[in-house]
Amino acid sequence: MDLSIGEVAQRSGLSVHALRFYEREGLFANPVRRLANGRRVYHEEELEWLAICTKLRSSGMPLATIRQYIELARQGAGNEHERLELLRRHERQVEAQVRELQEALDVMREKVRIYEEHLARGEADRLWNPSHAEADPGPEQACR
Partner DNA sequence: CTAGGTCCTAGAGTCCTCTCTAGATCAACA
Partner DNA sequence: TGTTGATCTAGAGAGGACTCTAGGACCTAG
Nearer of residues 18 and 127 to DNA, judged by Cβ: 18
Q: Does 18 bind a copy of itself (CB under 8 A)?
A: no
CB < 8 Å & 24+ apart, contacts of 136-143:
140/114, 143/111, 143/114, 143/115, 143/118
Q: Which is nearer to DNA, 89 or 113 (CB)?
A: 89
Q: CA 68, 24, 55, 47 torsion: positive or negative?
A: negative
| Among 52, 62, 64, 136, contact with a copy of itself (rule: CB under 8 A) | 52
**Which residue, 31 or 76, is less far from DNA as judged by CB?**
31
3-state secondary structure (DSSP) of residue 3: strand
Among 18, 32, 41, 87, binds a copy of itself (CB under 8 A): 87
Q: Say if residues 67 and 26 touch (Cβ distance below 8 Å).
A: yes
Which residues in 94-113 contact a copy of itself (CB under 8 A)? 94-95, 97-98, 100-105, 107-109, 111-112
